[in-house]
Amino acid sequence: MRSFSILNFKVRRTLRENLSAFWMKCCYLLILAMPFILLIGLLLKSSLLFGEHSLMELIFSSEWKPLSGKFGFFPFIISSLWVTFISIAIAAPVCLLTAIYLTQYAKRFVLKIMQPVIDILAGIPSVIYGVWGIIIIVPFVSKVAGWFNVSSSGYSILTGAIVLAVMIIPFVLNILIEVYKTIPIELSEASLSLGATKWETIKKVLTRKAYPGIISSFGLGVSRAFGETIAVLMVVGNVVQIPSGIFQAGYPLPALIANNYGEMLSIPLYDSALMFAALILFVVVTFFNMGSRYIIMHYEKKI
């Protein structure tokens, strides 16, 4: 009787052990499958469009006339790229210099004060950034355009990029602070004891060491900026055209999807076209992620 209960106990234990491992495996497989499920869904939904148009035509044509069945995504792709790269060009140096200042120059309590400020910035809903953009940045950009003798409503690529830059700064900055904080202080000591100044140490040693982290933070910034929808949509103008300057209105891909999905789906192929826009977004963001990962791996072998 007694030996039986011990056996029973053992069996139950093993069973529980195996079961818990099984659930963990299920969860991780679910997450692993997620991007593939998304990709397949998008491919299936947009496949109708491929039947009628070639990929080249879809990407490089700038004729967007859904009513006559013409879907050229070039203006949207260009708008997205413009907005993304201007925003990262604004955010990157600001974040890098701030992170260096906070970790290398500032007293410790300054960093302690900054941390919650950064978290607050990161937590603000994007629609608030959009409203702020309309109230402050739109008139500002319109005025700045005036200085360059360009007439602009203020709803433009540059406005979108500025709002985006402010939105991605907390994310990029958080990573950069972490990156610089984890560099061992002994590395600074070694460089200083060789007669380097503080700035030389930061430029030639610390930033070199931080390089993979810097690339990955910028990669994250680009991915976020490329996909950000609401705030950009509110300030970028949403005109289908290839913008010829930063004061012109643009129409990025996420705005296209958000503005039109569920609206004019009676037009043939229209929902398929919007799915294709989503597919482009997906592929480009994945490409940026993989690219920055590749740079990081390649570089880490070298140092």
Partner 1 sequence: MINGSIINIEGLNLHIGNKHILKDINVKIPEKKLTVILGPSGCGKTTLLKSLNRLTDLYPEVKTQGKIFNGGIDILNPKIEITELRKKMGLLAQSPYPLPMSIYDNITYGLRISGRRKKRYLSKRVEYYLRQVSLWEEVKDRLKDPASALSIGQQQRLCLARGLSVDPDIILADEPTSALDPVSSREIEELFLKLKQRYTIVMVTHILRQARRVADYVIFMYLGEIVEHGTAEQIFENPQNQITKAYIKGTYS
- Binding mask 193-222 toward partner 1 (x if CB under 8 A, else -) reads xxxxx--x---xx--xx-------------
Restricting to residues 88-127, name those near partner 1 by CB under 8 A: 107-108
Element holding 77 (H helix, E strand): helix 74-100
- Of 197 and 286, which CB lies nearer to partner 1 in the complex structure? 197
When the beta carbons of 2 and 107 are compared against partner 1, the nearer one is 107
The identity of residue 270, as a single letter, is Y
- 140 vs 94: CA distance, rounded Å: 20
Residue 4 binds to partner 1 (criterion: CB under 8 A): no
Nearer to partner 1 by C-beta: 2 or 301? Answer: 301
* C-beta of 16 vs 204, nearer to partner 1: 204
What is the nearest approach in angstroms of partner 1 to the Cβ of residue 300?
9
Output the smallest distance, CB 54 to partner 1, in A. 47
Binding status of residue 296 toward partner 1 by CB under 8 A? no
Alpha helices (runs of H) in the chain, residue ranges in sequence order: 2-52, 55-60, 74-100, 108-123, 126-132, 138-147, 157-181, 185-193, 198-201, 207-227, 230-235, 253-260, 270-300
Is residue 189 involved in binding partner 1 (CB under 8 A)?
Answer: yes
Q: Within 13 A of 302's CA, how many CA atoms are on the CB side?
A: 10
CA angle, corner 228, sides to 225 and 234, nearest 5? 120
By beta-carbon proximity to partner 1, the closer residue of 27 and 186 is 186
For the CB of residue 106, give the shortest distance to partner 1 in the complex, in Å: 9
Of 293, 156, 160, residue with least CA distance to 226: 160
Residue type present at position 113? I
Name the site residues for partner 1 (rule: CB under 8 A).
107-108, 184-197, 200, 204-205, 208-209, 301-303
